[in-house]
Amino acid sequence: MTYRVYITQNPLHRRNGYQRRMERINGHGPVKAATAAPPAVVPSEPPPAGRSDRLIDETEALRRVRALGLNHRSLWKYAEDSGAVARAGRRHMYSEALVDDLAGSYFTREEALDLLGMPISSFWEWVKVEGIRFAQVGNVSLFPKDTIMAKRRAK
């Protein structure tokens, strides 16, 4: 009975097996040494001085921007529009400079609101009046950390 309940009838066990089979079929399995080098990509803007322009795997990119709440489709579309994404087989590879810039230079709207202690209507009015540029990545609005922190210090 234990085997039946925990192994044969366990939907998670079946799903994991299905996902492994699909990864092998779609080429998402382990990377072979011969195919490990992704094609080169040139970002739309050169990376800032001291920043790397190497490519990183989608899993690593998503791990780095996890705090921003970005999903893979939003990140891919944003990187594609910036010219900072390439394909290696069926995998996406992202410019490390772009990913690190997103992760290190932006607050989400919710974080900005918490830091500033403003109601949302006042916040958007401030953004409009001051002409603050922000990044829209999918459904997530990202605001520059330096601008938010300057406003907070001015309070």
Q: pLDDT (tens digit, 9 = 90+) per residue, 23-82? A: 777 665 544 444 443 333 333 444 454 445 788 988 899 899 988 888 888 888 898 888
The two tokens of residue 129 are: 């009046």
List, as own/partner pairs, every contact residues 32-36 make where C-beta atoms lie below 8 angstroms and the sequence separation is at least 24, other chains included.
Answer: 35/88, 35/89, 36/88
Mean pLDDT of the chain: 78
Q: For residue 148, which phi and psi values (nearest 5 degrees)?
A: -65, -45
Distance, CA of 93 to CA of 103 (rounded, Å):
16
State the residue for tokens 């390439």. Answer: 86
For the stretch 133-150, what's the b/e string if a residue is b when 16 or more beta carbons lie within 10 angstroms of its beta carbon? ebbebeebbbbbeebbee
DSSP state of 90: T
Distance, CA of 92 to CA of 61 (rounded, Å):
10
Model's pTM, two decimal places? 0.61
